[in-house]
Amino acid sequence: MNPDDRTLTETGAHIAAPRGRVLLIACGALAREILAVTRANGWDHMTLICLPAILHNHPEKICGAVAEAVERHRAGYDSVSVVYADCGTGGQLAALCGKLGVELVQGPHCYSFFEGNEVFSARSDEEITAFYLTDFLVRQFDAFVWKPLGLGRHPDLRDMYFGNYEKLVYQAQTDDPELDAKAEDCARRLGLAYERRFTGYGDLETTLAGWARE
């Protein structure tokens, strides 16, 4: 374990019995949430390594980045788990993880597993016109949505990109009034109705709990 990895997972919590060292290779957009869960539960046998969050906008690059990270780091750990969902890879990431013998979070994307995959699936037909943001995407709205789509330079593009959406759903992982206000402003800028929905960590937390016990 290198010093940088060690500082990511130190909580000072007492572990009653030795557990295998688990490496989490994750989307950078999930770093804050993963650390919150592992620290709260004292899972200091889990180490987090994050891939660039901007891969969120380039799903065709995710499999290559995950494969390279697994092969580079797996020798130092008892098990490796990948904290992505399918994330636009069309099943390729699941196939890759099966080939590499590593675990993957279930679900099509983080919006689904934060809400809970069963709940999200049940809502899918009625929310086909919903645009989702998580805590991370509210914080990074300009960098990941507004600027890449050119909406600041070309506001006329807003209706082309978002004309078929009706509401923005902010899936809140935490209770933060500042993020709530920022998310509501994101909805206003996109010309969408606003809904805040507290999800907490959803299936991400239960998945990490299962991996922590293995």
Q: What is the pLDDT of residue 10?
A: 38
Q: Give the model's pLDDT for residue 214.
A: 76
Tokens encoding 135? 């805590």
pLDDT at position 19: 67
* Contact in structure between 137 and 32 (CB atoms under 8 Å): no
Q: Write out pLDDT tens, residues 99-129.
A: 999 999 999 999 999 999 999 999 999 999 9
Please say if the pLDDT value at position 9 is more than 50: no
Range of the domain at 92: 3-110+202-213
Residues 84 and 140 in one domain: no
What confidence score (pLDDT) does residue 30 get?
98
Domains in the chain, number: 2
Between residues 198 and 6, the one the model is more confident about: 198
Residues 128 and 182 in one domain: yes
The tokens describing 86, both together, are 């399918």
| Model pLDDT, residue 56 | 87
Let me know whether 103 and 124 are in one domain. Answer: no
Q: Are residues 160 and 208 in the same domain?
A: no
Tokens standing for residue 95:
């196939």
179 and 94 inside one domain: no
Judge if 64 and 7 occupy the same domain. yes
The enclosing domain of 90 has a CATH number of 3.40.50
Residue with tokens 């940088």: 4
Both 71 and 167 in one domain: the answer is no
- The pTM score is 0.87
In a shared domain, residues 182 and 206: no
- 59 and 132 belong to one structural domain: no
